[in-house]
Amino acid sequence: MKKDNSPASFGAGQPGHSVRLAVSDLSVLNLSPVTLVLHAGQCAVLEGPSGSGKSLLLRAIADLDPASGAVALDGEDRGALSGPEWRRQVRYFSAEPGWWSERVGDHFTPSDEVSDLLDAFGLPADAMDWTVERASTGEKQRLALVRGMADRPKVLLLDEPTSALDDATAKAVEQQLLARIRGDGAAAIIVTHDEAQAIRIAQRRLAIQDGAVIEVAS
């Protein structure tokens, strides 16, 4: 693997596919201004040491933390949408998902999509009747994916979504994630510390190095 030490290009992506997410000169604490584009159906991974700013960048794109610069979805500037509507379409998935009710099902609106996603991620239908406490860390990660993907956001910002899963389950989840990203024409940035996972899933590899987001060439 070799690294291109130039900043991630604003125009890089997949020719022939529409631009889904455009980030221009986004200034985040301790990071150089970030400029990049993601196209519909594209999955990028973001790598870098712990504490380098990966989560901060995703949260800034999702408008969860303050940051200067421009971010656009399908050519529409973030400022044209309310915060809740932006975060519905540009969704951040925390490495440690939050739960606000004792029962798992209270966090969901029942739908065929929820049922399909439960099955896709290897979870039983009766998981809706579990208590949150009963679910393992890995099951909570998968439940959070179901919760966040059920209404088909256009951009998925995934912070180590399989870190608590065994290798076989992680690979199965990856396949389902990629299938849905491509099928929906969504775009995704997935934070990972797993080199093998990055190789498996990335159409594009980004890394934070010395405070800058750079392209990583295989």
Which pLDDT band holds residue 218 (cuts at 50, 70, 90)?
A: low
Model confidence over 112-132: pLDDT tens digits? Answer: 999 999 999 999 999 999 999
Report, as an integer, the average pLDDT of 171-177. 97
CATH class of 2-217: alpha beta
Residue entry with tokens 């890995």:
138
> Distance between alpha carbon 21 and the CA centroid of its chain, in Å?
12
d(CA 98, CA 104): 11
Model confidence over 128-140: pLDDT tens digits? Answer: 999 999 999 999 9
Question: Given this model, what pLDDT does residue 83 score?
Answer: 95
Q: Which residues of 29-66 are buried (b: 16+ CB within 10 A; e: fewer)?
A: eebbbbbbbbbbbbbbbbbbeeebbbbbbbbbbbbbee
Model confidence over 79-107: pLDDT tens digits? Answer: 999 999 999 999 999 999 999 999 999 99
Supply the mean pLDDT for the chain: 92
d(CA 125, CA 215): 41
pTM equals 0.91
Report, as an integer, the average pLDDT of 191-202. 95
Phi, psi dihedrals of residue 214, rounded to the nearest 5°: -125, 160
pLDDT at 110 over 80: yes
Model confidence over 3-49: pLDDT tens digits? Answer: 554 444 434 444 457 999 999 999 998 899 999 999 999 999 999 99
